[in-house]
Each structure stands twice: as structure tokens, then as C-alpha cells.
Amino acid sequence: MSLITPEIKSLIDPVVSSLKRHQIEGDQEIALAIAQLLMKVISAARWTNTYDLISIIRQVGIIIHKAYPRKIIPGNIVRRVLALIRDEIETEHENTPMMSSMFSLLSTTKCEVREDHSKKQMSDMRAIIIQGIRDLVDEITNVSEGLETMCVDLIHDNEVLLTPTPTSDTVLNFLIKARTKRNFTVLVMENYPNEIKKAHQFAKTLAQHNIETVLIPDTTTYAVMSRVGKVIIGTNAVFANGGCLSNSGVANVVECAKEHKTPVFAVGGLYKLSPLYPFSRDDLIEVGNSGHVLNYDDFELVDNVEVVTNPLEDYIPPEHIDIFITNIGGFAPSFIYRIVLDNYKVEDNKLE
């Protein structure tokens, strides 16, 4: 932890505590907060070569991950920034005279780089990296614009859509944008018990934008699925295998859609793609307040019940999703690993 100087710590601490308290709402806000934080850290930190910077940021990443271990997005942003820095180092290398490839294998990279970089280059580097993060911030804020161009290709006139994730702003913007070009009906699931108010608000907003909206309880999925043209889901995180995390109850819906051969498409910004693989699926899911399921004032029942569970998320296996719509285009789940490789470096998959 010696790398984390008091100055950096004072920058990280407010973000960490608000992450711990779940005070930052929405994945986009979290992503932006982390990107801003990293920008500040990079400008505040004292480093003489880029590899020091990388290890500082890795340390910061570990601290942030521990603040909210179930959230994938902070880790994604940290890894994106790390990849950015590594890319810069590579281009730097290309500029320096090439050594024979065999020789570079033998020598340890660190020593060699330390010799190469002068202080002048460092200040250039800082500016380049910060510019890179600014671009990343731009990308995150403009996610919906990139997505919206896809909607015309995906929705036909008078189609019936079903969305089981009424919490997702991405889905909301996508649908509102699609309304300018197409007429369609949206079935909105309630997401009882955790997100029901948001679901009602979501339905209200859609109706206000002149979209035919039908609010349905979660139970009605199977009954209406035969009439649904497409299922559109929002994601909390997308893994390299093409599986994703979404609201609880979504896994039921997509499985039901699969049974009915109804296409499912998932929307989400590029920043939700994670280089990790979901090896232990039980650990991925956050569990919420069971009082939302069985009221504590029902003393008689609570007293006699062994377990009450309230998972907040569901893991959706890649075979239940047909395409992912991101701001850089649509991809099959089986292709996600390539997109991940484009944006992340394998060295950073493990931060510790």
C-alpha cells in the first residue's frame, strides 16, 4: 500500500465511502465517477515512469473493488484506463529504435523502460493519458446516442416488445428514440419486489412519450410470451463469455423467450463489458433485504420460515441471448470475447 500516498488516499476515500453506501445510483454514474477519480489520481500522483503509474492504478482498482465487490463496472473502468496506458507505452516503444525480438525476450522490460524514459516524456505521457480518459468519459456519456442508431434495424412497425428491466435508462432511451421512427407496444414487467416503483415510473415515462405501454406483473410473462415479438433487456455487466448480469427475474423471462423462440436482445454500453469470466456464478449475485419479500411485521410467519431470499440480480447464460447491442454495434454473445480483447489487456484481468 506504500504506493497510495496520503494525497491519493484523500481523493479515493470519498468515492469509496459513497460506493460502500450505494449512494451513487446508476451504472453510468458509477462509471463516470470512477473515471473522474482516476483522472485526478493520475494528475496528483508522483510517478517517474509509466510502470509505477500502472501499479498505482492497480492498487486504486483493488481498493475500489473492495468497496463494492459485487459491482463489475468500477473494475471495468480501471482496466480500461490501464489498457489505455499500456497502449501508450506500446506506441512509445514503436518510436524507440527496435531491438531484436529475441533480445527483448531475454531482458526484463522494466529495467529497459526505466532507462528509456526521460522526464520530458513523462509530462507528455500524463497529458496523453488524461486525454484518453476524457475520451472514455465522452464515450460513457454518449452511450445512448450510439445505441439509438440501431433501433430502426431492430424494431418493426406494430411490434410487441417486452422489457423485464424497467430500471435501465439505456432501454428507456432506446425505446423513446425508436418511437420517433416506429409504432410499437411495450410490455413492462414490474420487477417486484425490489424495483417496482421504478417500474411504474418507467411505464409512466414511456406512456408520456406516446408509446403504447402495458404494465404486467412478473407472473404474466409466460402467458403473454407467445404474443411478444422481441424481448429487450438491460444489463448490469457483460462477461467475456457472453453471459451477463441483469435484474432478478430476467433469467426466467429469457428462458421463457427461448422456449418460445422469441429473440432476446441485450442493450448496454461498451463500458459494461468485462474481461472477467463468470466462473463461480453464486458469488456474482448480490442478495438484498429479505424484508422486501416477507415483511418483518408478519412475526408469526417470519418466525416459522427457515430461509427467505431476495436476490437482486440474475446471471443470464450466453445461450439465452441472441445479440448484444452496444454503442459500437451489435454482436453475438460468442463474439464478445473479441470486443473485450480490443479494449482490455490480458495482464490486467487480475488486479492483485
Partner 1 sequence: MSEEAKTAAVPAVTTTAGNSAPAESKQLSNKELKELKKKEKAAKRAAQKTAIGITPEQQQKMAEQKIEKKKQQTATATNLKKQLDQTLLKPDVRKVPHLFGHLETREQRNASSPSISHIVHPAILSLTLKYSNYKVVGSTSRAKNMLIVFKKVIEDYVTPANTTLTRHLTGHLSHQIEYLKSGRPLSVSMGNAIRWLKQEISNISIDTTEAQAKEILCSKIDDFVKEKIEYSDKLIVDIASKHIVDGCTVLTYGHSQVLEELFQYCVLEQGKRFNLIIVDSRPLFEGKKLLKNLVNTFLPDDDINDLESINSAKFRMREPITKNHISVHYVLLNSLASTLLRDVDVVFLGAHAMLSNGRLYSRVGTALVAMMCHTRNIPVLTCCESIKFSDKVQLDSVTTNELADADDLIRNIDSKKPPQKKSFALEQFIKQQEEQNKPNKQQNTKKGTQTPTEESNEDESEPLKNWKEMKSLNILNILYDLTPPEYIDKVITELGSLPPSSVPVILREYKNT
Instruction: By CB under 8 A, tell whether 286 contacts partner 1.
Output: no
- Dihedral (C-alpha) 85, 56, 119, 39: value to the nearest 10 degrees? 60
Cβ at position 28, least distance to partner 1 in Å = 22
**Taking CB under 8 A as the rule, does residue 251 contact partner 1?**
yes
Is residue 334 a contact point for partner 1 (CB under 8 A)? no
Q: Cβ closer to partner 1: 14 or 217?
A: 217
Least spacing, CB of residue 342 vs partner 1, in Å: 31
Interacting span for partner 1 (CB under 8 A) from 77-85, 110-118, 145-153, 183-191: 183-191
Taking CB under 8 A as the rule, does residue 221 contact partner 1? yes
53 vs 162 by CB, closer to partner 1: 162
Q: Confirm or reject binding of residue 108 to partner 1 (CB under 8 A).
A: no
Whole-number Å distance between alpha carbons of 31 and 17: 15
Cell of 259: 422456449
Nearer of residues 22 and 197 to partner 1, judged by Cβ: 197
Closest separation between CB of residue 178 and partner 1, Å? 15
Region of 308 (left: φ > 0; alpha: ψ -120 to 50; beta: rest) is beta
Per-residue HEC secondary structure of 257-281 comes to HHHCCCCEEEECCHHHECCCCCCCH
Q: Distance of CA 305 to CAs 86, 192, 286, 299, 308, Å?
A: 53, 20, 21, 10, 7
The amino acid that residue 187 corresponds to is L
Of 35, 12, 31, 34, give the one whose Cα is nearest residue 132. 35
Cβ atoms of residues 136 and 81 within 8 Å? yes
User: Is residue 220 near partner 1 by the rule CB under 8 A?
Assistant: yes
Establish if 27 lies at the interface with partner 1 (CB under 8 A). Answer: no
Please tell me the count of residues contacting partner 1 according to CB under 8 A: 58
Check: CB of residue 277 under 8 Å from CB of residue 148. no
Q: Which of 224, 286, 329, 330 binds partner 1 (CB under 8 A)?
A: 224
What is the smallest separation between the CB atom of 296 and partner 1, expressed in angstroms?
10
Give the number of other Cβ atoms within 10 Å of residue 339's Cβ: 18
**Site residues for partner 1 per CB under 8 A:** 160, 185, 187, 190-193, 196-197, 200-201, 203-204, 206-208, 210-224, 226-227, 248-252, 255-256, 259, 282, 285, 293-295, 298, 300-301, 304-311, 314
